[in-house]
Structure 1
Amino acid sequence: MKQIRSMLVCLLVAGAGLTFCRAQSTPVQSTPAQQQESPASCQAPEKGARLVLPVNTYNFGNVPRKGGNLEKEFVFRNEGTAPLVIVRVLTSCSCFKATFPKRPVAPGQEGVIRIVYEPLKSEPGTFNKVLQIYSNSVTGRELLTVQGNSVE
């Protein structure tokens, strides 16, 4: 019972802080001195690289298992203030490979992550493969997902 009560108090405090932060960020006519008093958590996002994937999921639908490799390109943008460097990309199986830019992507520029799925290396049926992208982005790790159904 004490744990539930403690959890409810934490949720109320977090909700109050979020409400306060939103109220502070709402455009209201105020003096410059009042604008400087906003809490640190309500200020602009962190500076640095920011990897943004407009599309992070793709469904290949029904594909023949012996019909060859499936390819898809995912475009990403660096919406940050520093060059974006992709450090590594991890795939969920050996049937799923990815290539990515080795050079930094400048702020405001785009890059492409190209994936190749080899259905012949997997069992027939539904597949759901995940790609983890590690970079210097302030958002942390990003995920790409491809799915479909491999038929004989």
Structure 2
Amino acid sequence: MKKILFFIAMLSLGISYASAQKNAEIKFDKTSHNFGTFSENSPVVSCVFNFTNTGDAPLVIHQAIASCGCTVPNYTKEPVLPGQKGTIKVTYNGAGKYPGHFKKSITLRTNAKTELMRLYIEGDMTAKDTK
């Protein structure tokens, strides 16, 4: 009988602990950016994605992985406290790439309630001016 009561007490303690855990939550101002049209003469373009931790625990970005080597994400490395803001700067380098339309993704791995997120960039690079 004592074992059953002990088991029930531990079970209810575990359930209450699990429901009381706090989670980080990431909210972006936008999740995609269109660079529009730019020339192959100036093939490097950048944009910044702003986010807020709307949860009640510190938010940590573990990884930001681009879909190809021509896209480089730089992100806030330190934990973002609840209510605070952070940034992810994405740079696309079209040097050596064929002119035309592109669409790239950046996959984020975080400790937020939604662990994986994707950001998107796209644009149209026109051919170099020939003179």
- Shorter-chain TM-score tier: 0.7 to 0.9
Return the structure number with greater helix share.
Answer: 1
CA-based RMSD of the aligned residues comes to 1.5
Structure-2 separation of matches of 1:69 and 1:76: 23
Structure-2 separation of matches of 1:121 and 1:109: 39
Identity of aligned residues (%): 32
Structure 2 unaligned segments of length 5 or more: list them: 1-20
Residue equivalent to 1:96: 71
Aligned residue-pair number: 108
Matched, 1:59 2:31: no
Return the structure number with greater strand share.
Answer: 2
* Alignment TM-score, normalising by the size of structure 2: 0.78
Q: Would the alpha carbon gap of residues 121 and 144 (structure 1) be closer, same or farther in structure 2, given more than 3 Å must change?
A: farther
Aligned partner letter, 2:97: S
Q: Which protein, 1 or 2, shows the higher relative CO under an 8 Å CA cutoff with sep ≥ 6?
A: 2
1:53-77 deviation per Cα after TM superposition (whole angstroms, max 9, x unaligned): 1201111111112214101011001
Q: Would the alpha carbon gap of residues 144 and 113 (structure 1) be closer, same or farther in structure 2, given more than 3 Å must change?
A: same
1:24-81 deviation per Cα after TM superposition (whole angstroms, max 9, x unaligned): xxxxxxxxxxxxxxxxxxxxxx840001112011111111122141010110010001
Structure 1 unaligned segments of length 5 or more: list them: 1-45
Contact 1:56 1:144 in 2 (8 A): yes
* Alignment TM-score, normalising by the size of structure 1: 0.68
